[in-house]
Structure 1
């Protein structure tokens, strides 16, 4: 994944305020957070589905990790979120599923099936948890991926992360 240095975040438009909060963490000097996003809320989205998919594909080329904000309706979003997840799985990108309801493990009622079936880390929404996941999950993902693992993990499953969270 040489040259990849962006954190690509996908989310339902209804969950945009949570994404905007994540952007403030990055801008706030009081938080030790290194967050780069490959998507831009200020851009106008094309109405043509194929054009939008081209834009998504182009932006994901620089992604080193995919963060999926799991909101109330995320499971049922097939148009773009499913496509973004499929691109990440095909590129073997680490996937971090962030439960906006605070759940610490996979939320089967809200999580898209494509993440449920992929190697992924599931965390509650929070600056500390997301920072740790972005710092640590890519190396765990690489090790698990080499073994052919496609399980869902939590911060508690990972001893090193668990010590830092508790």
Structure 2
């Protein structure tokens, strides 16, 4: 399958592009300790690409993915054409998933979380650089064991946030 070192980011491109842009900004800012290998840099798509072309390219990106982030905003749970499909693919491929709550919830937000990832082995964090970095650095190593144990709707205790200065 090839080397997996990419971070696949799933989000509402109409309403939550700002959050994805922040993450890309954190990555390029030399004064900020945040890095990720963005799967969206592979085989860029044009706005004119059809659904099958888009899904084919996204599958290629998933083949290089180490872990995925879903940015959960107001309407993420209502997006079916691509967001739900991307989440289903990530789950099927057993890609560790970090759910990032744009409203800063530290646990699963039952009102906003897409149904397809409720009660799955997914870690839920707020949209804060340090905890996202912590999740990307630590959750993939724990994912398989937590999945085997049937652990779902995961979150970090307050002590982790305190150790990160949050």
TM-score scaled to structure 1, two decimals? 0.89
Q: C-alpha deviations, 1:112-160, integer Å up to 9, x for none?
A: 011113210000001111110100111111221233x250111218x7x
Tell whether the 8 Å contact from 1:65 to 1:138 is kept in structure 2 after alignment: yes
How far apart, in 2, do the equivalents of 1:79 and 1:36 lie? Answer: 25
How far apart, in 1, do the equivalents of 2:164 and 2:144 lie? Answer: 21
Counting matched residue pairs gives: 162
| Secondary structure of the structure 1 residue equivalent to 2:68 | strand
Question: Residue 87 of structure 1: which of 71, 86, 89 is its match?
Answer: 89
How far apart, in 2, do the equivalents of 1:89 and 1:22 lie? Answer: 23
How far apart, in 1, do the equivalents of 2:120 and 2:48 lie? Answer: 29
Partner of 1:165: 164
Partner of 1:55: 57
Q: Does 1:30 align with 2:31?
A: yes
Tell whether the 8 Å contact from 2:8 to 2:38 is kept in structure 1 after alignment: yes
TM-score scaled to structure 2, two decimals? 0.89
Alpha-carbon distance, 1:78 to partner: 0.6
Question: Residue 114 of structure 1: which of 112, 116, 126 is its match?
Answer: 116
Q: Which runs of 5+ in 2 are unaligned?
A: none
Tell whether the 8 Å contact from 1:96 to 1:121 is kept in structure 2 after alignment: yes
| Secondary structure of the structure 1 residue equivalent to 2:154 | strand
Q: C-alpha deviations, 1:33-70, integer Å up to 9, x for none?
A: 22111115x74234422221111111111000010000
Partner of 1:45: 47
Partner of 1:132: 134
How far apart, in 2, do the equivalents of 1:26 and 1:47 lie? Answer: 27
Cα 1:46/1:83, change in 2 over 3 Å? farther
Q: Which runs of 5+ in 1 are unaligned?
A: none
Q: Does 1:101 align with 2:103?
A: yes
Partner of 1:5: 5
